[in-house]
Structure 1
Amino acid sequence: MRSIWNGAISFGLVSIPIKLVNATESHSISFRQIHTEDGGRIRYRKVCELEDREVTQGEIGKAYEDADGTMIPITDEDLASLPLPTARTIEIVAFVPGERIDPLQIDKAYYLEANGVPAAKPYTLLREALKRSGRVAICKFALRGRERLGMLRVVEDVIAMHGLLWPDEIRAPEEAAPDTSVTVRDQELDLADALMDTLGEIDLAEMHDDYREAVEEVIAAKSAGETPPSAPAPDQGGKVLDLMAALERSVRAARESRGEEVAEVRSLPAKSPRASRAKPKEPTGKKSTSTTTKKKTTSTSSTATKKKTTTASGTRKKKTPAKTAAKKTTRKRAS
């Protein structure tokens, strides 16, 4: 890895000479612009407007354009002699817990290499101190014409530095939030949780760029004079407008892709006035409705008969003493 910046880490009174190298690289496929009629290469030429001629890279410098259009030349020596402590130094200003860093602030990543044998001891000291404390170092450094904010952390046995955006470079998120008020039901959240559990976790080391691989296949086919592979036919399925149905289908598809048994997931329908007034379904037992009705009728009639009999007998019992007295009186009079 080629170093892009040489300097030192300022750690209190300790100075650690280091080299800065890129920790990431781009594997995206780049294309050239060509003339479609003859395949000729299209190039951008750097031309001086005053002399109307092409200039070389060595003749090109920097300048600041004033409000009136005046160009103020700025040389590399001017930038190197800036009165800043971070011109050639990564100055550590604080140590904070790593969770306090908002991921939105994290920018490009670099590795810090110890520059020379004398730098190995203080480099290892800082690395082990960061490991044991579980914190990260907040620093300031100057790179490519501007002062930047950074974060130092340990990656295996190397100190890595992440460029951080300044707080005023992060836009407020309120403007991106939905304007309309939406209510999410518990059933929808339950299905979303089920989908997340079904998808599970993944090892990021297994992820790869499918787009780049597809482009490489097209390039290889065309260079060999073959027909490049075509895209599969798009899914002609209907557009799912129901969120619950979309979640259910997603859970089912995720489980099928993992070879799991798919259990039927039913959403609870919302209650409506029509549903509450719906007629109950007829029983589907083995006994017929007529038999049941007869039994109910017989039971009802027998019960009514018993009630009447009981009432009648009760009445006769109450009238019996009066009738007996009348008969005795008649007999006496007759005698």
Structure 2
Amino acid sequence: MRSIWNGAISFGLVSIPIKLVNATESHSISFRQIHSEDGGRIRYRKVCELEDREVTQAEIGKGYEDADGTIIPITDEDLSHLPLPTAKTIEIVAFVPADRIDPLQMDAAYYLAAGGAPAAKPYTLLREALKRSQKVAIAKYALRGRERLGMLRVVGDAIALHGLLWPDEVRAPEGLAPDTKVTVNDKELDLADALMDTLGEIDLDDLHDEYREALEEVVAAKAAGEAPPESPEPARGGKVLDLMAALEKSVRDAKESRGEGAAGQAQETGEAGEAEAHGEVRRLPARKSARAAPKQAGGKKSTASAAKKSAGKKTTAKKSTATAKSAQGAKKSASAKSTASAKSTASSKSTAKKTPAKKTASRKRTA
């Protein structure tokens, strides 16, 4: 990575030569201004208002505009006499806990690289000291013509420098909170906590710029002479009338998106809901008989009575069986008689029919 600034870290009486490199990069797609009719580039030209002519970069200097519109020229010679001890030095002024830094002050980020072999030892010493103390270093440095505030912290095996805004550059959020008095109850807070827990955490490496990817597809399609892809219409959000209902629906939607809908429903509705969610079928307990079981004290009497009833039933069964057998025998004999009579009748009829048939056959042979 190409360094954008060379200097040293001033750590008490210790000086650490370093190189400053950008820690971030922009992947945004930039456009050029063109003439819509013919596609020609639109360029900016630096023109002097007094002479009405274009000037070169070498002719351009700095000037401060006063309140009345007067321009006061400021030369590089004027700026060189400013008392700026941090012109080539990152001067550490304090070590504080990291939570003392307001994220609103965070600005651009840089990596600090050791400037050669002599810087390896003090560089490592500062890095390990920051690790063990679990603190960050507050420093001043000069970059691009002005003094800046910065924070040094450890990132992996390197030291990073975060540019910080000066405290008077951060605006106070006055007049931005709602003026209306609002009361939030515990149930609403519980639902909000449930929604936060359901959404859970996310690996920031999984996030990406979907707008840039869609824009690249549009550019690629136009370059190939194709129609740009159409994006689906965004879902229109309904008007929220009930905050509790909106929170409950948000929790349900978040659980369903993570595949936790069935489990969440089972947890809320108890064991019955859990069985239904998993497709389990439970058998109902057997119903008790309407008649009560006989008592142990009367067991002998009931047994004797049952034996008598059983003997009576057996005798009746034997008589009915004998009657049935005799009736069945009568039926069989009657059936046999009728069958014999039918056979004799059929035999006589068949004999009568066969005789004329033979005579006809003999006539045919004679002919």
TM over 0.5: yes
Task: Report the CA distance between 1:237 and its aligned residue.
Answer: 6.1
Task: Report the CA distance between 1:164 and its aligned residue.
Answer: 0.9
Provide the aligned C-alpha RMSD in A: 2.0
Give the unaligned 5+ runs of structure 1: 266-335
Secondary structure of the residue aligned to 1:123 is helix
Structure 2 counterparts to residues 182-261 of structure 1, below 5 A: 182-236=182-236, 238-261=238-261
Aligned length: 266
Change (3 A) 1:177 1:63: same
Amino acid at match of 2:6: N
Amino acid at match of 1:194: A
Query: What's the TM-score once normalised by structure 2's chain length?
Result: 0.68
Amino acid at match of 2:219: I
Task: Report the CA distance between 1:76 and its aligned residue.
Answer: 3.5
Change (3 A) 1:115 1:80: farther
Structure 2 counterparts to residues 43-82 of structure 1, below 5 A: 43-82=43-82
Output one character per residue of 1:256-307: Cα deviation in whole Å (capped at 9) or x when no partner.
1111124469xxxxxxxxxxxxxxxxxxxxxxxxxxxxxxxxxxxxxxxxxx
Task: Report the CA distance between 1:235 and its aligned residue.
Answer: 2.6
Kept in 1, the 8 Å contact 2:252–2:261? The answer is no
Structure 2 counterparts to residues 253-272 of structure 1, below 5 A: 253-262=253-262, 263=264
Task: Report the CA distance between 1:77 and its aligned residue.
Answer: 4.4
Q: For 1:163 and 1:131, how far apart are their aligned partners in 2?
A: 20
Secondary structure of the residue aligned to 2:108 is strand
Output one character per residue of 1:294-333: Cα deviation in whole Å (capped at 9) or x when no partner.
xxxxxxxxxxxxxxxxxxxxxxxxxxxxxxxxxxxxxxxx
Q: For 2:118 and 2:76, how far apart are their aligned partners in 1?
A: 29
Kept in 2, the 8 Å contact 1:80–1:87? The answer is no
Give the unaligned 5+ runs of structure 2: 267-367
Task: Report the CA distance between 1:89 and its aligned residue.
Answer: 1.0
Secondary structure of the residue aligned to 1:93 is strand
Task: Report the CA distance between 1:81 and its aligned residue.
Answer: 4.1
Return the structure number with greater relative CO, CA threshold 8 A, min gap 6. 1
Q: For 2:143 and 2:163, how far apart are their aligned partners in 1?
A: 10
Task: Report the CA distance between 1:51 and its aligned residue.
Answer: 2.3
The match for 2:155 is 155
Structure with greater helix share of residues: 2
Amino acid at match of 1:5: W
Q: For 1:238 and 1:184, how far apart are their aligned partners in 2?
A: 22
Task: Report the CA distance between 1:213 and its aligned residue.
Answer: 0.6
The match for 1:3 is 3
Output one character per residue of 1:129-168: Cα deviation in whole Å (capped at 9) or x when no partner.
1111111111111112221111111111111111111111
Query: What's the TM-score once normalised by structure 1's chain length?
Result: 0.75
Kept in 2, the 8 Å contact 1:11–1:92? The answer is yes
Output one character per residue of 1:107-128: Cα deviation in whole Å (capped at 9) or x when no partner.
1111111122222221111111
Change (3 A) 1:238 1:55: same
Amino acid at match of 1:200: G
The match for 1:164 is 164
The match for 2:132 is 132
Larger Rg: 2
Q: For 2:78 and 2:206, how far apart are their aligned partners in 1?
A: 47
Amino acid at match of 2:79: L
Q: For 1:67 and 1:177, how far apart are their aligned partners in 2?
A: 34
The match for 1:101 is 101
Kept in 2, the 8 Å contact 1:10–1:89? The answer is yes
